[in-house]
Chains A and B, each alone.
With several copies, the nearest count.
Chain A
Amino acid sequence: ARAEVLIFAAASLKEPIDQIAEQFDDVVVSYGGSGTLARQVTLGAPADIVLLANTEWMDVLVAGGHVEADSVVNLASNRLVLIGPQGTIPLNLEPDALRNAIGNGRFAVGLTEAVPAGIYAKEALQHLDLWEAIQDRLAEVDNVRAALTLVARGQTPLGIVYRTDTRISDDVAEVAVFPLNSHRPIQYLGALTDDRNDEARMVLDVLTGVQGQAIFAASGFLPPTGNAK
């Protein structure tokens, strides 16, 4: 049964988007990695709405005419946080402090060249001059959830994830928050693949509207920062 509105959404948005979709009878959401979703859309995926955690891929979709440039909206933002297993004491974001905390262990992040959370993490670490100190101690994984798991299972003493991710596991604690200016703003962007699809436009409007924003906030997301292009 093909739904009226099919949303392709970044997996990290699952919690709030599921809640919003529940309010419609005929909205169906397919979650995946932002890169995967974007490629699928370029190859003709029947999505009506695309929600990505990555501005770069949205640029590609816009440039290729796969989404309506005018419809691109900024949905929410997030904070990058440093986490450790439950009980880890808060840390200063300084090389020595990090190195000590890591010890012989490793530092869990998303793929720093590929996964949005990893790309932001690399920017922040470089900005804070921490990159040199831990570059050789990284354990890069294919999505933020995996980084969270590594920390939660005590495999790595530290890791970088979105603040929203820390809600998933009781076994991790936030030990530091990266300053907003240490990395490009974290933007979750939405767009329509077809301007004339009114129902899809309505759904997207709900996401940016009061009700949608409240749900994002309840899941730990921050209001959108900066402007969608």
Chain B
Amino acid sequence: MIEALGPEEWTAILLSLRVALVAMLAALPLAVWIAYVLARKTFPGRQLLNGVVHLPLVLPPVVTGYLLLVLFGQQGPLGGFLDQTFGITFAFRWTGAALAAAVMAFPLMVRAIRLGFEAVDPGLEQAAATLGASRWRIWRTVTLPLVLPGILAGTILGFAKALGEFGATITFVAAIPGETQTIPTAIYGLLQVPGREPAIVSLVIVSIILAMGALLVSEWLARRMAQRLGGT
């Protein structure tokens, strides 16, 4: 199986991993924050925020990719600004692939983490408040640890989605080998050429192995957490 993979495919595999990991790391804090806000706060525009978060799920991925291109392209309002201010470019760069993956994974992460927040007993936060803990300390030491299972679930969902993302990625950053060609876009290319079925199958298997590995790690972490809490 491994023989079927050429250097270009290996590059795509490593890039996919990097893209998925960076997307998760970068999106996680924002996802946790938005999930918290949606779970606990009431404010005007809450439903709007909720809707915006879900957008990448509702829209065809190609449209999301196109919107990203319009916003974050070199001529785009955000893209130009980020480029000039921080020197960060997304369009047709691996960072853009990570952005696309993060955006597409975002609704999944937020929802899972939000369920986690909703399952935390507010009585415990009250107890922490009476013990003098600041909001931030309560958040860090009580709320967040109790939400960890949700965060873990959200992260693994997001990671899997990031590994599989195709439509938005190819639209936003194309499939430039070594820069933006991830496993799914590589598979797409291979589909156009005769006789590359073995490579396609190998890439699919590698995807599955990566995702399964991540899943197993997350399940193991979740079990450890549950054991700590459950006392067995």
Contacts and interface: CB of A to CB of B under 8 A. Distances in A.
B175 interface: yes
Given A18-B193, A113-B193, A30 B180 contact: yes
B175 A2 contact: no
Interface residues on B, range: 20 to 34
B contacts with A: majority SS? loop
A150 to B, nearest CB: 7
B174 A45 contact: yes
Interface string B132-148: 00000000000000000
A36 interface: yes
B75 interface: yes
B18 to A, nearest CB: 14
Interface stretch (B183-191, B201-209, B221-229): B183-191
Contacts of A40: 69, 92, 171, 174
A32 B175 contact: yes
B109 to A, nearest CB: 26
B162 interface: no
User: B92, B177, B191 — which one has the most chain A CB atoms within 10 A of its CB?
Assistant: B92
B189 A111 contact: yes
B179 to A, nearest CB: 7
B170 A141 contact: yes
Nearest to A33: B192
Contact of A35 (B69, B180, B192): B192
A45 B171 CA distance: 11
A14 B191 CA distance: 10
B123 interface: no
A108 B174 contact: yes
Contacts of A153: 69-70, 73, 75
Contacts of B192: 11-12, 14-15, 31, 33-36, 111, 114-115, 145, 168
Interface of A: 1-2, 6, 8, 11-12, 14-15, 18, 28-40, 43-46, 56-57, 60, 106, 108, 111, 113-115, 138-142, 145-146, 149-150, 153-155, 167-169
Given A30-B176, A150-B69, 20 more contacts: A1-B178, A28-B177, A30-B175, A32-B175, A36-B170, A36-B191, A39-B69, A40-B69, A56-B194, A111-B175, A114-B188, A139-B173, A139-B174, A139-B175, A139-B176, A142-B171, A142-B185, A145-B192, A146-B171, A155-B75
Interface of B: 62, 66, 69-70, 73-76, 91-92, 170-171, 173-181, 185, 188-194
18 contacts: A6-B176, A15-B192, A32-B175, A39-B69, A40-B174, A44-B91, A45-B174, A56-B194, A106-B92, A108-B174, A114-B189, A140-B175, A142-B171, A142-B185, A146-B170, A149-B66, A149-B69, A150-B174
Which 9 A-B pairs have CB atoms at the shortest separation, nearest pair first? A35-B192, A114-B192, A139-B174, A114-B189, A30-B174, A44-B74, A14-B192, A168-B194, A30-B176
